[in-house]
Amino acid sequence: MTQSTSSAAVGPLPEAVRALAEADFSAVAGRFSAAGYTVAQPADGILTIKRPGAPARASVLVSVGVHGDETGPIEVVAHLLDALSHEANALAVDLMLCVGNIGAIRAGKRFIDADLNRMFRAERGTLAGTAEAARADVMMAATTAFFDGAGPVRWHLDLHTAIRPSVYPTFAIVPELIEAGARGQLVDWLGAAGIGAIIMNPQSAGTYSYYSAEHHGAAGTTVELGRVGTLGQNDIGQFAEAAQALDALLHGVGPASAGRSPHIFNTAQQIIKLSDRFQMAFGRDTQNFTALPRGAEIARDGDTVYTVQHDEEYVVFPNPDVRVGLRAGLMVVRAS
Ligand SMILES: [Zn+2]
């Protein structure tokens, strides 16, 4: 497929993509409902599909569009769910689908007032009155209802695309607190999905997937699937492996154990912005997983100077422009 950087007119969006981007579930909901599932829309942008009388099924939460400008996963899931709804009986798990920041998607923006993926915690400080705080409350209530009474097998795949280039084009953040067995299965799935690197995270940054892991016992992960693109113009080919792995999961097919193993990284330090004096030693356009040597300055903030503590640390998500109190970057090291 040829890529064009011009603003040449593109055709209309495929109907399934348009519908999901607008959180219009009517077509797929109707098909699953007709196949005997219990289908509900507990809130705007949230769809649950459960098989009545089948309590042993795995419960899978798939979220897209938590950042409104990350449209690739919306396209992927739209096509996948549309196809699955035409063979509805093949759905082998209880599914909750969540289209995250509906307002921002509509506006073609990353967020309306503030980053939604920092709101999944009690402490919101000055962000308490934002549109995203209210949306996170709705999403958490629906998530609680979905996992309440669910069986022990619980997944949450929160699908994103990265906003900057990365040494590993696809990578995932996995909370360390996930029980070892479930975490191993999640890592296997991420390998099957073609994810190149996994960061083990010991501490919540207020993300949706960490919330599901911490409060609902889900094997939750934030997955970065390639680059941000415009809805309808994404190079869907870059998401093929992830789409295939997600499709298999929804069909109840486990990942082949002989799949590729992602590189595993542990978190070395979180770089927290303490004040408005915060200055990072490099810009927010720095590639994810850029290596820095021992002793190198990462940032300074008044009397606090963050430096590299290991022989080599890699920087992920550098962003000096976050609000005071939030994470301005993550430093990771290779695990063994
Ligand atoms: Zn994102």
pLDDT number for residue 322:
86
Q: What is the pLDDT of residues 153-165, one digit of tens each?
A: 999 999 999 878 8
Identify the three-state secondary structure at position 167.
coil
Say if 257 falls within a structural domain. no
Residue 201's domain comprises 15-250
Kindly report which listed range (8-12, 36-40, 309-313) carries the lowest average pLDDT score.
8-12
Kindly report which listed range (2-6, 35-39, 332-336) carries the lowest average pLDDT score.
2-6
Q: What is the pLDDT of residues 213-257, one digit of tens each?
A: 999 999 999 999 987 778 888 787 888 999 999 999 999 998 766
Between CA 211 and CA 201 the distance in angstroms is 12
Mean pLDDT for the stretch of residues 30-36: 98
State the distance from the centre of ligand 1 to the C-alpha of 110, rounded, in angstroms: 8
Q: Is 67 labeled as ligand-binding?
A: yes
Q: In whole numbers, what is the pLDDT of the chain averaged over residues? A: 92
Mean pLDDT for the stretch of residues 315-324: 90
State the distance from the centre of ligand 1 to the C-alpha of 158, rounded, in angstroms: 9
Does one domain contain both 173 and 306? no
State the distance from the centre of ligand 1 to the C-alpha of 117, rounded, in angstroms: 8
Residue 5's pLDDT band (cuts 50, 70, 90) = very low
Say if 77 falls within a structural domain. yes
**By the 8 A CB rule, do 102 and 23 touch?**
yes
Residue 244 identity (one-letter amino acid): Q
pLDDT number for residue 258:
57
Last residue of a domain, one of 250, 277, 307: 250
Q: What's the token pair of residue 256?
A: 């082949």
Strands 59-64, 154-162: pairing is parallel
Does one domain contain both 146 and 77? yes
pLDDT number for residue 4:
42
Q: Is 132 labeled as ligand-binding?
A: no
Could you confirm whether 179 is annotated as catalytic?
no
Does one domain contain both 316 and 209? no
Does one domain contain both 196 and 225? yes
Does one domain contain both 199 and 326? no
Say if 1 falls within a structural domain. no
With 50 as the cut, is the pLDDT of residue 191 above it?
Answer: yes
State the distance from the centre of ligand 1 to the C-alpha of 97, rounded, in angstroms: 17
Last residue of a domain, one of 215, 250, 285: 250
Say if 92 falls within a structural domain. yes
State the distance from the centre of ligand 1 to the C-alpha of 161, rounded, in angstroms: 6
Mean pLDDT for the stretch of residues 254-263: 76
State the distance from the centre of ligand 1 to the C-alpha of 229, rounded, in angstroms: 12
Does one domain contain both 186 and 317? no
Does one domain contain both 41 and 89? yes
Out of 224, 241, 297, 313, which one is annotated catalytic?
A: 224
The CATH number for 305's domain is 2.40.50.630
Q: What is the pLDDT of residues 38-95, one digit of tens each?
A: 999 999 999 999 999 887 899 999 999 999 999 999 999 999 999 999 999 999 999 9
Say if 117 falls within a structural domain. yes
User: Residue 333's beta-bridge partner residues?
Assistant: 266
Say if 222 falls within a structural domain. yes
Strands 263-272, 312-316: pairing is unpaired
pLDDT number for residue 126:
87
Q: Is 160 labeled as ligand-binding?
A: yes
State the distance from the centre of ligand 1 to the C-alpha of 89, rounded, in angstroms: 32
State the distance from the centre of ligand 1 to the C-alpha of 18, rounded, in angstroms: 20
Say if 10 falls within a structural domain. no
Last residue of a domain, one of 201, 220, 250: 250
Does one domain contain both 236 and 319? no
Does one domain contain both 223 and 320? no
Say if 194 falls within a structural domain. yes
Does one domain contain both 213 and 320? no
State the distance from the centre of ligand 1 to the C-alpha of 38, rounded, in angstroms: 30
The CATH number for 128's domain is 3.40.630.10
Q: How many domains does the chain have?
A: 2
Start-to-end C-alpha separation, the chain? 39
pLDDT number for residue 234:
77
User: Residue 255's beta-bridge partner residues?
Assistant: none
Which value, to the nearest 10 degrees, does the dihedral of the CA atoms of residues 113, 117, 122, 128 take?
Answer: 0
With 70 as the cut, is the pLDDT of residue 278 above it?
Answer: yes
Does one domain contain both 273 and 180? no
Does one domain contain both 222 and 290? no
Residue 151's pLDDT band (cuts 50, 70, 90) = very high
Q: Which residue has the tokens 């069909």?
A: 251
